[in-house]
C-alpha cells in the first residue's frame, strides 16, 4: 500500500536550535513511532482504551500500587485539575512566589479553579516548613481563604532541586496541618535524572498526595497526566477533569506517548541528556568574564546575569528569554535534542558578543 499523499510542506529550518524552552523541541522519534502504532482501527473513547489501561500499569511501576493516572492535554490543565482535586471551593494553595501556577498560567488556578494562591518569596524557588508557616494559618477564619494544599515544583522554576528529605519534611509539616501536597512535575524526569533516584523516591515514598507528570518538555508531542497518590482524590478527579475541559476523547494518543516515555528508560535518557547539555553550557559560560550564573545548575536550565545589550544582540542569533529583564537576568534551557555543537556554538557567540 502506498503511503498517503500529503500537500503539507516544511515551514521551518530543522537545523535551527535555541535555548528558549524545552517546549521548543520537536517530538522524540520513539514517541512519534508510538503514536503511529496507536493509530488505525477503533478504540473506546474517553480513556477506556487499551493504551490508557496499560498506562496505569506503567505508572504504578513508577509510583506505587495505588497510583492512578489521569491523562490531560497540558501542564496548566494538569495543575489546575490536580489542585481542585485536593481543595474545596473555599480552599487556598500555598506556593513559592516564583511558582509556575502563580507566574505563568494566566491566573488559571484562580480564575478557572476558583482557588486563592498564598505565595511566599523564596531565594531559590524552594519552599521549606518555615516558609510555609508564613501562610499556614487562619483555618477557622471565615474571612480568609483556608490553606488546604501546598504546591511545590520539582525541578523548580529556577532550575534547583528538592532532595527527598526536604520533600518529606514539607509533606510531614503540611499533613500535620491537615493540608495535602501537590507536586508540579513538568520537569520531574530532569529531577530524577539529576538526583539519580527513581521518581517514587521523592513522591509517594515521602508523602506527596498528587502530582502533575510532565511529558511535553521531555519528548512528547502533547499531553501530561495527573497522578493521584492519595486515593481520597480519585473520585473527585474523574468529574473535575471533565468539567475542566481536560478529558480527551481520543485519549489513547496522550496515553501512548506517556507509555513510550515511561515503559522503559526513554524518559530518563532524554532528561539525562538535557541535564548534561545544561552542565556543558554552564561550564562554558563560567569561562566568560562578565557573565554570572545565579543559581545552582541542577537540571536542564541555566540562569545568568549579563549586560542587557549583550543579551539583545545574542537573542538575534539564538532564541532565549529574559527572566528578569530589568535586572538583566536570562534563562537558557536545554532539551533532549540539544547537541554539544549547539552548546559550543552558543558559548562562542556569547564570547563574541561580550567582547564587542
* Alpha carbon distance 112, 107 (integer Å): 8
Neighbouring CB atoms inside 10 A of 302's CB total 26
Q: What number is the average pLDDT over the span 139-144?
A: 96
**Opening angle at CA 236, ends 233 and 242, nearest 5:** 130
Torsion of CA 149, 120, 173, 89, to 10 degrees: -20
* Alpha carbon distance 34, 92 (integer Å): 39
CA atoms 314, 319, 320, 325: torsion sign? positive
On whether the 266-355 domain is CATH 1.10.10.10, my answer is no
pLDDT digits (tens, 9 = 90+) for 173-225: 999 999 999 999 999 999 999 999 999 999 999 999 999 999 999 999 999 99
Evaluate if residue 150 carries a pLDDT over 90: yes
Evaluate if residue 4 carries a pLDDT over 80: no
Return the minimum-mean-pLDDT range out of 12-21, 88-97, 146-155, 187-196.
12-21
Evaluate if residue 64 carries a pLDDT over 90: yes
* Alpha carbon distance 74, 214 (integer Å): 8
Neighbouring CB atoms inside 10 A of 227's CB total 27
Give Cα separations from 69 to 97, 228, 290 (angstroms): 28, 6, 46
pLDDT digits (tens, 9 = 90+) for 211-221: 999 999 999 99
Helix 252-262 × helix 266-286 angle, to 10°: 70
Q: How far is CA 89 from the centre of its chain?
A: 25
HEC profile of the chain: CCCCCCCCCCCCCCCCCCCCCCCCCCCCHHHHHHHHHHCCCCCCCCCCCHHHHHHHHHHHHHHCCCCEEEEECCHHHHHHHHHHHCCCCCEEEEEECCCHHHHCCCCHHHHCCCCEEEEECCCCCCCCHHHHCCCCCCCCCCCCCEEEEEEEECCCCCCCCCCHHHHHHHHHHHHHCCCEEEEEECCHHHHHHHHCCCHHHHCHHHCCCEEEECCHHHCCCCCEEEEECCHHHHHHHHHHHHHCCCCCCCCHHHHHHHHHHHCCCHHHHHHHHHHHHHHHHHHHHHCCCCCEECCCCCCCEEEEECCHHHHHHHHCCCCCEEEEHHHCEEEEECCCCCCHHHHHHHHHHHHHHHHC
Residue limits of CATH 3.40.640.10 in the chain = 29-262
Second-level CATH architecture of 29-262? 3-Layer(aba) Sandwich (3.40)
Evaluate if residue 3 carries a pLDDT over 70: no
Residue 5 banded pLDDT, cuts 50, 70, 90: confident
Contact 302, 278 (CB under 8 A): yes
Residue 93 vs residue 2, higher pLDDT? 93
What is the arrangement of strands in the sheet containing 224-228, beginning at the earlier edge strand?
A: 68-72, 224-228, 210-213, 180-185, 146-153, 91-96, 116-120
Q: What number is the average pLDDT over the span 264-275?
A: 98
Residue limits of CATH 3.90.1150.10 in the chain = 266-355
Evaluate if residue 259 carries a pLDDT over 90: yes
Residue 318 banded pLDDT, cuts 50, 70, 90: very high
Evaluate if residue 227 carries a pLDDT over 80: yes
Residue 335's nearest CA partner among 270, 282, 281 is 270
Residue 8 banded pLDDT, cuts 50, 70, 90: confident
Evaluate if residue 1 carries a pLDDT over 60: no
Q: What is the pLDDT of residue 2?
A: 66
Q: pTM for the full model?
A: 0.96
Q: What is the pLDDT of residue 239?
A: 95
Evaluate if residue 304 carries a pLDDT over 80: yes
Residue 338's nearest CA partner among 45, 26, 32 is 26
Residue 267 banded pLDDT, cuts 50, 70, 90: very high
Contact 250, 46 (CB under 8 A): no
Amino acid at each position: 500500500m502506498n503511503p498517503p499523499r500529503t500537500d503539507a510542506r516544511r515551514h521551518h529550518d530543522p537545523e535551527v536550535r535555541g535555548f528558549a524552552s524545552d517546549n521548543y523541541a520537536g517530538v522524540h522519534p520513539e514517541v512519534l513511532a508510538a503514536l503511529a502504532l496507536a493509530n488505525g482501527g477503533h478504540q473506546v473513547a474517553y480513556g477506556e482504551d487499551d493504551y490508557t489501561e496499560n498506562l496505569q500499569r506503567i505508572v504504578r511501576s513508577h509510583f506505587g500500587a495505588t497510583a492512578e493516572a489521569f491523562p490531560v492535554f497540558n501542564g496548566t490543565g494538569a495543575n489546575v485539575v490536580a489542585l481542585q482535586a485536593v481543595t474545596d471551593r473555599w480552599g487556598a494553595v500555598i506556593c513559592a512566589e516564583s511558582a509556575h501556577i502563580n507566574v505563568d498560567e494566566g491566573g488559571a488556578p484562580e480564575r478557572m479553579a476558583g482557588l486563592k494562591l498564598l505565595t511566599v518569596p523564596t531565594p531559590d524557588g524552594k519552599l521549606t516548613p518555615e516558609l510555609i508557616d508564613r501562610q499556614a494559618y487562619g483555618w477557622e477564619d471565615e474571612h480568609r481563604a483556608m490553606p488546604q494544599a501546598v504546591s511545590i515544583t520539582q525541578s523548580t522554576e529556577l532550575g534547583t532541586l528538592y532532595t527527598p528529605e526536604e520533600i518529606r519534611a514539607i509533606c510531614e509539616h503540611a499533613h500535620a496541618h491537615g493540608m495535602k501536597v501537590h507536586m508540579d512535575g513538568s520537569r520531574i524526569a530532569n529531577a530524577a535524572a539529576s538526583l539519580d533516584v527513581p521518581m517514587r523516591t521523592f513522591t509517594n515514598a515521602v508523602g506527596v498526595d498528587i502530582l502533575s507528570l510532565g511529558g511535553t518538555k521531555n519528548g512528547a508531542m502533547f499531553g501530561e497526566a495527573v497522578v493521584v497518590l492519595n486515593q481520597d482524590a480519585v473520585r473527585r478527579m474523574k468529574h473535575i477533569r471533565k468539567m475542566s475541559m481536560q478529558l480527551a476523547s481520543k485519549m489513547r494518543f496522550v496515553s501512548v506517548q506517556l507509555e513510550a516515555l515511561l515503559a522503559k528508560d526513554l524518559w530518563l535518557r532524554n532528561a539525562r541528556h538535557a541535564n548534561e547539555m545544561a552542565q556543558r553550557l554552564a561550564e562554558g559560560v563560567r569561562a566568560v568574564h562578565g557573565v554570572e550564573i545565579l543559581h545552582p545548575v541542577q537540571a536542564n536550565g541555566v540562569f545568568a546575569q549579563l549586560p542587557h545589550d549583550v543579551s539583545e544582540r545574542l537573542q538575534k542569533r539564538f532564541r532565549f528569554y529574559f527572566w528578569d529583564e530589568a535586572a538583566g537576568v536570562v534563562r537558557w534551557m536545554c532539551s533532549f535534542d540539544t547537541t554539544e555543537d549547539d552548546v559550543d556554538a552558543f558559548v562562542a557567540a556569547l564570547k563574541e558578543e561580550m567582547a564587542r
